[in-house]
Structure 1
């Protein structure tokens, strides 16, 4: 049965949480306690002094990479940022977090931990799901404070976060990051990790006989490709069938989307003007439909075209990295509950695709980086600098680097979408499964078909 646009009900199905960080706060606390202990031991040994990362810790700047030193200088000289970066940690109290005493008690501790991660840390596997977002964990509770909300919207500070994340990305693309691509208990080819990623050898392009399974870096492993035929395209010759663009879990489905809306409130409506950065095509989607889905750290992280058509415009929009809305209240896995909000403010990629099917016409794919997912990469051969670029349904169009993320598909008003039952069930199932890449997501119901 078709589901037409609801003029008075913008959300057809409630949004759900994407399990961005582990549900059990004890696991997050243990992970961060272990990181703090590792850093304390490293600097105690190197500096031949006792290093204790508590609220009394005084950080010598010469312990830091020059980039982190510059960032700290910005925070120190700007009175507003200085206040915000101090208070966003002091505002985190025992009543706000179930982890007892707040673990990160100053921005100096934050800078030292970020410095350590940026220079030589790659995500290790663990059984409780915290595998890819170390800086997110460091900032998890401070993001949800009044001063944190303001601090992570500051453009100058965001520019530095981008530089930090890009430098960490350089390490994750280096051969040195392969130290986690081993068969040790915390390695990605150990017994526990392979149980969490069953059929890895059968599904992904790899060489188990080669060092690190043939991957040249942690990022090379992260953006691994499926083997040919592993995710077949649903109904490749039926132009009315729209496929899943990512291996992902449905998060939200809204109809009658507005040009401008209150995206920062608890309901987190989509505001097209801000989401698409006032693109010339924005008005065509007013009153249309948005489907949003979430990718976890263990998912496949490349994007594929959901339709046959032509890419007529594709570009990146700079934005925030750790901003979360205060309206959702306490968020144990921030910005998990803010996934609708970040579509308007986070760093993202936008691709407009003109479908071969006139019943679809112009649609839009938006890839949104969450927290340290700082790189949304559009395949360079599909950027239409010299005219539209053809894409086939199921063809790779881009990828995320370095962590879990979220994405949206936008459709114009009048496109009558019948979403597959597996998609609809995922909104209400307490333990839903991912919608597989290239699986049938929805069908366009044209006149004379359906009711």
Structure 2
């Protein structure tokens, strides 16, 4: 491939502070990560084998001619466009991914990278050869194994390297605390690591009692926010099937719930979908938007890094593809049959984006939940969620368009909508 001069682009839309807006900052991160991976390999001189899940990923990519072709071309297309990836081949990329398996993100005021694997794949995934590649089910199954392996590290005690007050990388430093507000969460300042057993323990931290009171707990007509998340979209008259891959990314109910649950999806035809995205610094647990009985609770395995082609070469690190991800990405789906029969079933869809390792469901079918009860949580990574209502159920949504990229979150348990 011949190098060509890349035309200047507007800063990327980086919702939720999962990445810095600056491409230069992310490029520096990739180059630094690559250098550290090379240094570790040199120090060990081959004595430490590659993590088995990364070796399996490498074997898949090198052994499948179509996957090898697509990834090689996607890397080449990104480099040819002038982007600094930190790697030029599949082998080099695998070396960096292997290094990441024992990586816990530090805090940074200027260039925080919450999703390091997404940062590595940021440009190949939205190159012409990358779109089909990152939809491949076999590749995604192996990527999920890699992410779950990394989640195992993040769930263990060796992941607490940056759970301290040391600037600039400590998550308990004054700079980080200004973003997080740790005083509102359950932790013990007198204990080592504030009592958090792991990075994931810190990431899924819980609010203190009454930090997020439930709005109108005795009024079924008041529907609350299931997550601490900034409004992204509100769409009415949704269809059973729609072209979720086009520029407008309309919601396609059967694809969201899956064909196996087509009967469930049909209940919401003509209804409304509210979608919001979670910030890197926000609370990552899910709560019941209404009180009632859980009728469905299941996880749909899906893609990890697939973008909508309709968003073009610069999709903002999955941001602009959030509608599309509801139909294709790994997601947890919980349906609650509301105690108020006029509201009926409410669909709750919690979508794991980018480096999300797992969507953990706690409320199972048959359980009764009160409005505000915990339903589950995300273990690390970028996230978005939807609430889906039947036609003519909601009379008024509190958040109203236009929704701003830097808009404040609707607090979990806060008044989100009012039923008719």
Coarse TM-score class (shorter-chain normalised): over 0.9
* Residue in 1 that maps onto 2:39: 41
Distance in 1 separating the partners of 2:210 and 2:218: 16
Question: For residues 292 and 190 of structure 2, what CA distance do their matches in structure 1 show?
Answer: 40
Aligned-pair Cα RMSD in Å: 1.9
TM-score between both structures, scaled by the size of structure 2: 0.92
Contact 1:19-1:336 within 8 A present in 2 as well:
no
* Whole-angstrom CA distance in 2 between matches of 1:111 and 1:63: 12
Q: 1:333 to 1:215 in 2, by over 3 A?
A: same
Alignment correspondent of 1:11: none
Residues 182-213 of structure 1, C-alpha deviation per residue, up to 9 Å, x if partnerless? 11120111222112223x12x00000010000
Provide the C-alpha distance between the structure 1 equivalents of 2:368 and 2:229, rounded to a whole number of angstroms: 24
Partner of 2:8: none
User: What whole-Å deviation, never above 9, does each CA across 1:254-273 have from its counterpart, x for those lacking one?
Assistant: 01111111111111111111
**Match for 1:117 among 100, 103, 106?**
100
- Counterparts in 2 of 1:276 and 1:323: CA distance versus 1, 3 Å: same
Aligned pairs for 1:339-350 within 5 A? 339-350=322-333
| 1:7 corresponding residue in structure 2 | none
Equivalent position SS for 1:354: strand
Aligned length: 405
Kindly state the Cα deviation for residue 158 of structure 1 after the two structures are TM-superposed. Answer: 1.1
- In structure 1, the partner of 2:272 is 289
Equivalent residue, structure 1, for 2:408: 433
Aligned pairs for 1:156-171 within 5 A: 156-171=138-153
Q: Which residue is 2:66 aligned to? A: 80
Q: Give the Cα–Cα distance (whole angstroms) in 2 for the partners of residues 265 and 61 of structure 1.
A: 49
Gaps of 5+ in 1: 1-14, 48-59, 446-451
Q: Secondary structure at the match of 1:207?
A: coil
CA–CA separation in structure 1 for the residues paired with 2:403 and 2:150: 37
Alpha-carbon distance, 1:102 to partner = 4.2
Q: Secondary structure of the residue that 1:70 maps to in structure 2?
A: helix
Structure with the bigger RCO (C-alpha within 8 Å, sep 6+) is 1
Moved segments of 4+, more than 3 Å: 15-20, 60-63, 101-104, 427-431
| SS of equivalent residue, structure 2 residue 160 | helix
Q: Does 1:405 align with 2:392?
A: no
Question: Unpaired segments of 5 or more residues in structure 2?
Answer: 1-12
For the 8 Å contact 2:127–2:313, the answer to whether it is kept is no
Q: For 1:168 and 1:410, how far apart are their aligned partners in 2?
A: 32
- TM-score, length-scaled by structure 1: 0.86
Q: Distance in 2 between matches of 1:430 and 1:261?
A: 25
Q: Distance in 1 between matches of 2:273 and 2:197?
A: 37
Match of 1:22 in 2: 20
